[in-house]
Structure 1
Amino acid sequence: MRFDGERLEPLFRIGLQPLDLDHWFEVDDLIEHYRAEKDRLNAAQGEAVYREEPSSASAQAEVRALIEANLAANHPDISLPQDSGGSDLFEAARMVQEDLLLLTRDDSGWRLVAAALHFPSSWKLSEKFGLPLDQIHGNVPAFGPGSRNAMLMGRIFDGLKVEKPVQRMNWSLYPNATLYHPYSTRDRAANPDRHTIDAQSFIRVERQTLRKLPQTGAILFTVRIYLDPLTQLARHPGAIERLRAYLLALTPAERDYKGLRTSIDDILGVIDSFRDSAA
């Protein structure tokens, strides 16, 4: 799938929609590129891209079985990679283009207990692994511990039904098409020009899904990354208007969190430069 302007939605809202499990995973002609990049990162980065707690083994096995069955039913034309001997979530993540994050419930809330995070959008697994939801989102404006949004997320996870998986979209502007972006809050402070946005920049869309597992009751969070050059806006005039509106609605804290160090006026100027060719 290529750039779809309809997938640009307002930022910093939960915005869940029903998920058809026939479309749980989106497979396109880049699948082997994504798989190869995951294998490269597994070898080069180790625990920076994959971690697990021993207690997650049964939920991992359930995830793997569900993914294998879903791919066989909905994408029978793709072959699965040869098993490399890793744990179940590790191997399941090698099958698909999505990142896989597994959460289970304890007294502290829904905790991240296993994760194959190869294509993070400016966060590090080492900083978030093992934490409950509200702490995972602690540096997200209006989503930290004690916030209304944090409580709402907790209720959503608690109330998620096995038969009603959900999805949402998120997006950012990035200076390049690199899939692996493990920048932390500290990295952002040390690299103030990291997200300088110009006409050669990219729209990075995240398609996120949540599915409660029927046997273990764990929740699997998947994230699929799509990267398209900003020049694609020339083909989607409606997306230009939505992007302008969403950027103008961001608070300074939200712009900073998204790494948009370039002034909002300069970013809008870049976006507006595509208007004539879109007309």
Structure 2
Amino acid sequence: MYEKNALNNFKDVLGKYCAINQFIELSKRCFVAEHQKEIQKRDTFVKLATEYSITLTNYDADAMVTEICRSYIVNVHLCFETFLKDVCQQINKCGKNEYKPRIQEESYLACAVRNICGNSISDDMKPLYELCEYYRLIRNSSVHDLCEIDSHEKEFRKLQKYNFKTEAKFSKLVAPNIYEEISFDDFVMFSRSCVELATYIFEKMEYDYAKIVKDIPHKQVGKWRKYSKKRQERALYSYINTLYKTDETLIEQIPELINILY
């Protein structure tokens, strides 16, 4: 059986990372609740760590709790950017329109939107777009700014024009937050926003099916040669539908695509 398209693969991988983040958060909350007294003082914290054969390089519990929350943002961004790279590569290789490469300092999200949506992203997606760009910058600061931290207060202030509480998926979250106060709620907000924005981008993608067919591995084509014509047509449709996506024009194109295939 074939694999999955870019969107479904992204959702699967993100789901695994989210499960890990949730488990870590549960572990963190249990640990802090059970060992609140021990972690307040270095000597008792050292003793506790020694009991579990762990040598800590930092005994500032509050700082570590915040860093853990920022690591959630790093994990979500890793999944989302991988999806955006996949999308850009697909549009470059088999998109209907000419692909314009990512320019210097441009995010992969901006590049994908520019190539797929022509910068005409819908009004309801704009808040999610800016939110994801903000969390991308938070990720950058968490990973790269080892000396002088850029908290991106300017970008955070821009988000204040949106009332995210009106969205059911955000109504119970205390987020977004500034760099120093990133919390588990920020992770939830970022992951939900990524899924919705990724779905929007994927639905807007337009493929050139002839380009897809020309790129199908010879090994796969060889298997289809043994099929009847009708079965070949069904197999080709299923292949495109599984690895990419289909529109209302594909069924009409199938006979011509079969000719290209062989």
- TM-score normalised by length of structure 2: 0.30
With normalisation by structure 1, the TM-score equals: 0.29
Larger helix share, 1 or 2: 2
Q: Return the structure number with greater relative CO, CA threshold 8 A, min gap 6.
A: 2
Whose strand fraction is larger, Structure 1's or Structure 2's? 1
Say which one has the larger Rg: 2
